[in-house]
Structure 1
Amino acid sequence: MPISQPPSRQPLLTVPEAAAHLKVSVSTVRRLVRNRLLGDVHVGRSVRISYDELDRFQLANERAALS
C-alpha cells in the first residue's frame, strides 16, 4: 500500500515578494500585516506571507471595491 503524499504547498513569500505580487510598496505590505489586514507567518525573525493569504486579501478587497 503506497504512502499518501501530503498536499503540495506553495512556498511562502517574503515581504518584498508579496509587495511585488500585489504591486504595492514594501511599507504598504508591512502596514497591512501590522494592522492585521494581511495574515503572516513568522519564521524566526523573518516575516512570510502565503499565496493563499494574498488571494484571500485580494478577493476581500475586490468585493469591497465592487460594493
Structure 2
Amino acid sequence: MQHTSATSPVPSPRPTFQLSSTDAAAYLGITAGTLNVWRCTKRYLIPYIKVGRLVKYRVADLDSWLASRTITAGGLNED
C-alpha cells in the first residue's frame, strides 16, 4: 500500500511584477508627477491597478505601452 500525503503542494501562480507610481515613472524615464498627470487626465492610456488609494503598474503593461509607442526608421510602429 502506498502512502500519499493528504496535502500535496499546489504550485502557486507566477506573480506579476508590480511597480509603484514612483518606480514605474523611473522605469519610463519620467517623473512621478508626470505619470500621475497622464493617468488623471487620460493623456496616455497606460494600464494600472487601483487598490484603495494605491496605484500599481505591471512591468509587462509598461513594456507593451512602450512597444506601442516605438517608432521605426520608416516612421511606423512595428505592430
- Residue 40 of structure 1 corresponds to 48
- Residue 3 of structure 2 corresponds to none
> Taking every aligned residue pair, what percent have the same amino acid on both sides?
22
- 3-state SS of paired residue (2:69): helix
- Higher share in helix: 1
Q: Where do 5+ consecutive residues of structure 1 fail to align?
A: none
Q: Distance in 2 between matches of 1:46 and 1:37?
A: 18
Q: Distance in 1 between matches of 2:14 and 2:46?
A: 22
Matched, 1:54 2:59: no
Q: Where do 5+ consecutive residues of structure 2 fail to align?
A: 1-7
Q: TM-score, normalised to structure 2's length? A: 0.67
Q: TM-score, normalised to structure 1's length? A: 0.77
Determine which structure has greater relative contact order: mean sequence separation of CA pairs < 8 Å that are 6+ residues apart, divided by chain length. Answer: 1
Task: Name the larger-Rg structure.
Answer: 2
Query: Which of 26, 43, 51 pairs up with 1:20?
Result: 26
Q: Distance in 1 between matches of 2:33 and 2:16?
A: 24
